């Protein structure tokens, strides 16, 4: 796929670092992405902000640029609707938050809310409100999430665990080890070596929704993935844990796999198995809220944000749903958009629609009884 985006810049900012992430932002009309890139359409010759209300183009016709100037230098002209995409005040807010994000990402240790507000010349309340409105997270939560992602990126190529620790922004070894196993799901030295000394037992099978891969670590289920190509699912598992010992199933694990497939076929059954949940504090709060949704019910991203006490964090909730590795066990398929649209499921919209249909059917039968 042709791209005009400066990936070195994306690595520095830590946001929208891949074409897939940028395209997802365009599909969501993500206003928070406006400060990071624009997209251009080869068939029309125009460029737009990610939040543009323009009709979505075909993916193969889209190029990404880190700035409007870069798009113009490549020969694209601004969309006629570009001026209406944002008011000048909204643009200034987006730029302020983008600058704050970059400063948080470079700072060591993470700056306090008071320091950030003073630096940008606004009150604490105003800065906190604007930052959460744009990113869906408080500055502190954003710093924690960025540090967790940076740790995952730094460990595999770092000469030592401690060098990765400092590069990721951890100044305290005790805090690092307290947080790292929760974030990584294993000891940092094992993650650094691609899962060496870690046994991952897995099985690939078929269910009515296509291919399914189920994997278990020493802690519990660490992956339930759906797809069309069984070999691709295995390849993805190998890429995620390149040095781990991948083992076939045994009698005990076969019963786990059967329970997972049974839940796919009959969603009302649920999964009563230990889960190895790996993610940031915010992601885990979202995932717990999803597990509290009864089968046959749905909630909006805004509903979940309200449940976890972060009503402004709608975008961050959507991102946490997209990061879920445990299909069905953590039922992110029960989250829909405010208008009832069911788009946005990492294992395919049709699978999401079918899971919701099955749960609705089960609920109807129970109601009749």
Q: 92 and 76 in contact (C-beta within 8 Å)?
A: no
- pLDDT for residue 154 is more than 80: no
Intra-chain end-to-end CA distance of the chain, in Å: 54
Specify the pLDDT at position 270: 77
Q: Before 109, cis peptide (omega within 30)?
A: yes
Q: 278 and 314 in contact (C-beta within 8 Å)?
A: no
Specify the pLDDT at position 85: 47
* Sheet with 221-227, edge to edge strand ranges: 221-227, 210-216, 199-207, 245-247
- pLDDT for residue 170 is more than 80: no
**Angstrom distance (rounded) from CA 137 to CA 144:** 10
Specify the pLDDT at position 83: 46
CA angle 218, 222, 228 (to 5 degrees): 140
Specify the pLDDT at position 298: 92
pLDDT band at residue 232 using 50, 70 and 90 as cut-offs: very high
Specify the pLDDT at position 65: 92
Specify the pLDDT at position 367: 46
CA–CA distances in Å: residue 295 to residues 298, 364, 367:
8, 11, 13
Most confident range (mean pLDDT) of 89-93, 131-135, 346-350 is: 346-350
Q: List Cβ<8 Å contacts ≥24 apart for 234-237.
A: 234/202, 234/204, 237/200, 237/202, 237/213
Which of 49-63, 127-141, 329-343 has the least mean pLDDT?
127-141
The helix-helix angle for 124-135 and 139-154 (nearest 10°) equals 50
- pLDDT for residue 14 is more than 90: no
| Structure-model confidence comparison of residues 316 and 226, the more confident one | 226
**Angstrom distance (rounded) from CA 73 to CA 322:** 34
Mean pLDDT of 36-58: 87
Most confident range (mean pLDDT) of 52-61, 87-96, 188-197, 266-275 is: 52-61
Cβ-based burial of 359 (10 A; exposed 0-12, middle 13-18, buried ≥19)? buried
- pLDDT for residue 225 is more than 80: yes
The DSSP letter of residue 330 is S
Which of 26-40, 180-194, 236-250 has the least mean pLDDT?
180-194
**Angstrom distance (rounded) from CA 347 to CA 333:** 9
| Structure-model confidence comparison of residues 364 and 93, the more confident one | 93
| Structure-model confidence comparison of residues 10 and 148, the more confident one | 148
**Angstrom distance (rounded) from CA 79 to CA 239:** 40
Specify the pLDDT at position 239: 83
Q: 70 and 100 in contact (C-beta within 8 Å)?
A: no
**Angstrom distance (rounded) from CA 326 to CA 311:** 25
pLDDT band at residue 173 using 50, 70 and 90 as cut-offs: low
Q: 199 and 217 in contact (C-beta within 8 Å)?
A: yes
Mean pLDDT of 333-337: 91
Per-residue pLDDT of 246-264, as tens digits, reads 887 778 888 999 999 998 9
Specify the pLDDT at position 191: 56
Please choose, from the candidates 106, 85, 96, the residue with its C-alpha nearest in 3D space to the C-alpha of residue 126: 96
Per-residue pLDDT of 272-319, as tens digits, reads 888 888 777 788 889 989 999 988 899 999 999 889 888 878 888 888
Q: Which residues contact 309 (CB under 8 A, 6 or more apart)?
A: none
pLDDT band at residue 17 using 50, 70 and 90 as cut-offs: confident
**Angstrom distance (rounded) from CA 51 to CA 62:** 15
| Structure-model confidence comparison of residues 108 and 275, the more confident one | 275
Percentage of residues of the chain with pLDDT beyond 90? 21
For the annotated catalytic residues, the residue numbers are: 48, 332
Q: Which two tokens stand for residue 86?
A: 């944002």
Mean pLDDT of 207-221: 91
**Angstrom distance (rounded) from CA 288 to CA 317:** 12
Please choose, from the candidates 130, 147, 131, 149, the residue with its C-alpha nearest in 3D space to the C-alpha of residue 139: 131
Specify the pLDDT at position 316: 84
């Amino acid at each position: 796929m042709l791209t005009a985006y400066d990936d070195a810049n994306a690595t520095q900012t830590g946001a929208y670092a891949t074409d897939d992430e940028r395209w997802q932002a365009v599909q969501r009309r993500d206003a928070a992405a406006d400060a990071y890139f624009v997209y251009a359409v080869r068939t029309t010759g125009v460029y737009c902000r990610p939040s543009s209300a323009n009709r979505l183009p075909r993916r193969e016709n889209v190029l990404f640029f880190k700035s409007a100037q870069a798009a113009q230098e490549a020969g694209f002209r601004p969309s006629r609707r570009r001026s209406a995409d944002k008011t000048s005040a909204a643009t200034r807010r987006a730029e302020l938050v983008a600058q704050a994000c970059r400063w948080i990402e470079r700072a060591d240790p993470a700056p306090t809310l008071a320091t950030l507000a003073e630096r940008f010349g606004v009150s604490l309340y105003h800065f906190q409100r604007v930052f959460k409105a744009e990113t869906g997270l408080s500055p502190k939560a954003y710093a924690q999430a960025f540090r967790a992602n940076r740790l995952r990126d730094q460990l595999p190529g770092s000469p030592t665990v401690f060098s990765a620790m400092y590069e990721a922004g951890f100044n305290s070894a005790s805090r690092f080890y307290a947080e790292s196993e929760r974030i990584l799901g294993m000891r940092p030295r094992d993650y650094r070596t691609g899962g060496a000394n870690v046994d991952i037992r897995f099985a690939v099978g078929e269910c009515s929704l296509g291919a399914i891969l189920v994997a278990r670590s020493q802690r519990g289920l660490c992956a339930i993935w759906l797809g069309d190509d069984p070999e691709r699912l295995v390849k993805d598992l190998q890429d995620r844990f390149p040095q781990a010992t991948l083992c076939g199933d045994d009698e005990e694990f076969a019963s786990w796999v059967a329970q997972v497939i049974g839940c796919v076929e009959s969603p009302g059954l649920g999964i009563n198995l230990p889960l190895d949940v790996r993610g940031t504090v915010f992601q885990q709060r979202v995932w717990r809220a999803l597990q509290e949704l009864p089968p046959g019910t749905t909630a909006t991203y805004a509903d979940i944000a309200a449940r976890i006490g972060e009503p402004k964090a709608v975008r961050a909730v959507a991102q946490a749903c997209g990061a879920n590795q445990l299909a069905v066990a953590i039922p992110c398929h029960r989250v829909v958009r405010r208008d009832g649209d069911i788009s946005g499921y990492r294992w395919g919209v049709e699978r999401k629609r079918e899971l919701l249909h099955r749960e609705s059917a089960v609920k109807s039968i129970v109601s009749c009884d």
